[in-house]
Amino acid sequence: MTVVATAGLAGPRRRRQRRQRRVLGLVVLVVLLLALCAASVMFGTRTIPLGEVWTALVRPNGTELDIIVRSLRVPRTLIGVLAGLALGAAGALMQGHTRNPLADPGLLGVTQGAAFGVVFAVVVLGANGLYGYIWFGFAGAMIASVAVFLLGAAGGRGATPVTLALAGAAVSALLYGLIAAVVLGNDQGMEIYRFWRVGSIAGRDFAVTGQVLPFLLLGLVLAVVNTPGMNTLALGEDVATALGQRVGRTRALGVVAITLLVGAAVAACGPIAFLGLVVPHLARAVTGPDYRWLVPFSALLGAALLLAADVLGRVLTGDSFEVGILLAILGAPVFIVLVRRKGLARI
Amino acid sequence: MTRKVVAAGPLAWTVRPRAVAVAAGAALLLVLVAAINIGLGSSYIAVPDVLETLFGGGTAREQGIIFDLRLPRTLTGILVGAALGLSGALFQSLARNPLASPDVLGITWGAGAATVAVIVLGGYRGQVSGAVSALGVPLAGLLGGIVAGVLLYALSWRRGIDGYRMVLIGIGLSAIGYNTVYWLLTVGDVNDAARAVTWIVGSLSETSWDAVGPVLLALAVLVPIALVCGHTIGGLQFGDETARGLGIRVDAARGTLLLLGAALAAVATSAAGPITFVALATPQIALRLTRSAQPPLVGSMVLGALLTVSADLVTRLLLPELPVGVLTAILGAPYLIFLFVRSRREARA
């Protein structure tokens, strides 16, 4: 028997059960995330006990341990949590706005736009290293996303799920072609691109986090603000309009939130794929279709999975795998098993 | 709309004039573009002479140049493009999702992972065991794609094939495939990485008669089966119960179409790499041009071939060092965008 969450005429008892399950899930996720943060600061090529971590944070005295904790592990953990929150929430928004289970947070062209910005900065302007190209990545993400939204909305009454998805796929493909054209003729661009392309949260210090933090926070706030409108939109555009909702405004808000979240996460960490695509499907199995729950769940779950993959990678492979790769190679089989075991709720 | 039904024994097809017109128009254009593409090269041959030679005339010198040297590249482009277009049309109909294409569902990335492994591990990074490196790139791609297709089928099967489950499983398989590819790129030498990226984007520059034979043979088998089975696609769009009511054996039909789509994508990918965007875009372009309910099979094939060969032509004229897959995206994307912007304007007017 496949169990598919049904919205609508649930009896009071079922509604209470679902509510309990959601609250319980939220508590579990928050506790899990805190535990993973602790693990992320403790474990690595050398294990640091929690007591010494605490000392390093509160009363640092310049020992090697203090430096490892304060300048390597804490920033890495922080950017991991932020990127995970962003990609999870953006994935849920993206799938909701395109009504498409195949929608990846990068579908708006954000990821390829950021990649193009990075490649352009490296090849044309000779930028070198993270600080040189982070803003170009962000600008590329913004421009691509606006272009996709305008194309998706062109000639009609605004963007619809299908036109958004197709415009996103078309623009992403176009940018992908251009990126390939640029890096194939340029060894240095190729060298930077192939490492940036897989996504990593290593070697990011507080400066990087500080640069993208305002965008991430604003994006998260807008994502939460967008959720009631998305619930109405899920009834169909005509119904939403009849209920007095401004469909165009809701869509635009969603696009702005997605762009801020994914643009900042990709600029800081590279395109960590798979996470934002899969997390909403897992979260939906617990929350059902209500976006007010689904978006926060997806965000927390995204952060937890990203940290877990990063810590595992450090402990098992001595940090020789980028987190984006490990996440997919470990996560995909688990996801496939889950899909087979229970039918995940549909969009 | 006047429709005719063409029957051949137990099989019947509905013929829609608009679909026929689109396919015929695209086919004429394809002949023209292919002839120009064959004529290009160190010694230029004009289009009429190319056509004359292809249909048995021409001088001995022209015959030599065209048949020995130039035809394989264009023919591979036509075959690979047609296979990708048809594969995309099958997957999009099966999943009832315009984003469902063999690369999203992991088929091309399965082929990609196998191929890039051969390129990178057989390159500067030391030696793979003899058997694998001897198999070479095309065979590795074919095997990888077929393995991915069989996995997709086996993992999606649970008392039948459900389109939605297939899509989710495909996401997972695809993620494993492309992350393996990008991981291999980071461990490999930069020159191997560049070769691998060329392959990932899709390239026709290294095709010869040796490459054409297997593709031609595979398509000669797969395409008729797809066209015969294609009549079930329309029925499947209505949902399982209605389809059963129409006398379609739903699970058998879905399984057949899935494996056909996977085999077509694997064959195409093994010949020229997963030429970007053709499988996703051409079914959608064909759908909008023919104004049909789901991607038309023949139209998707002809348009796939046309897009691929046109991209090859533009590449050779303007940017000879680039792989063709760069141009399929750059040419195909604006046209697809133009089409759906226009169709929505019409819908409003």
Residue B338 sits at the chain A interface (C-beta within 8 Å): no
Residue A173 in tokens? 């493909």
B311, part of any domain: yes
- Total domains in the fold of chain A: 1
The pLDDT of residue B130 is 44
A203, part of any domain: yes
The pLDDT of residue B109 is 86
Q: Give B 272-291 residues with CB within 8 A of chain A.
A: 276-277, 280-281, 284
Which of B198, B332, B340 is opposite residue A163, by nearest beta carbon? B340
B1, part of any domain: no
Q: What is the pLDDT of residues B85-118, one digit of tens each?
A: 999 999 998 888 888 888 888 888 888 888 888 8
CB contact under 8 A, B348 and A157: yes
The CATH code of the domain that includes B108 is: 1.10.3470.10
B5, part of any domain: no
A4, part of any domain: no
A7, part of any domain: no
Contact yes or no for A48/A65 (Cβ under 8 A): yes
A346, part of any domain: no
The pLDDT of residue B132 is 47
The CATH code of the domain that includes A323 is: 1.10.3470.10
B11, part of any domain: no
B152, part of any domain: yes
The pLDDT of residue B131 is 46
The pLDDT of residue A243 is 87
Residue B115 sits at the chain A interface (C-beta within 8 Å): no
Residue B341 sits at the chain A interface (C-beta within 8 Å): yes
Q: Which residue range is the domain that position A209 belongs to?
A: 18-340
Low-confidence ranges of chain B (pLDDT < 50): 124-134
Residue B333 sits at the chain A interface (C-beta within 8 Å): yes
Q: Which residue range is the domain that position B54 belongs to?
A: 16-348
With a CB cutoff of 8 Å and minimum separation 6, the contacts of B8 are none
Name the CA dihedral angle for A33, A37, A43, A48, rounded to a multiple of 10 degrees.
-140
Question: By CA distance, what is B105's nearest residue in A?
Answer: A102
* Chain B residue numbers touching A333 (CB-CB < 8 A): 172, 176
The pLDDT of residue B282 is 93
Q: What is the rounded CA–CA span in Å between residue B57 and residue A183? A: 44
The pLDDT of residue A190 is 78
For residue B11, list its beta bridge partners: B8
Q: What is the rounded CA–CA span in Å between residue B146 and residue A99? A: 30
Report which of B271, B270, B268 is spatially closest to residue B282, judged by C-alpha positions.
B268
Question: By CA distance, what is A107's nearest residue in B?
Answer: B99
Q: Give B 198-217 residues with CB within 8 A of chain A.
A: 198, 201
* Chain B residue numbers touching A332 (CB-CB < 8 A): 172-173, 175-176
A3, part of any domain: no
CB contact under 8 A, B179 and A344: no
B6, part of any domain: no
Which conformational region is residue B146 in: left (phi greater than 0), alpha (psi within -120 to 50 degrees), or beta? alpha
Name the CA dihedral angle for B279, B282, B285, B290, rounded to a multiple of 10 degrees.
-110
The pLDDT of residue A299 is 95
- Total domains in the fold of chain B: 1
Q: What is the rounded CA–CA span in Å between residue B103 and residue B181? A: 13
The pLDDT of residue A157 is 62
Q: What is the pLDDT of residues B36-51, one digit of tens each?
A: 988 887 778 888 888 8
In eight-state DSSP terms, residue B161 is B
Which of B98, B169, B326 is opposite residue A166, by nearest beta carbon? B98
CB contact under 8 A, B167 and A102: yes
A10, part of any domain: no
Across the 347 residues of chain A, what is the mean pLDDT of every consecutive 10-residue run? 46 81 89 90 80 80 78 86 93 88 80 86 74 80 86 70 81 84 78 74 76 89 91 86 85 89 86 86 87 93 92 79 80 81 66
Count chain A–chain B contacts defined by CB atoms under 8 A.
167
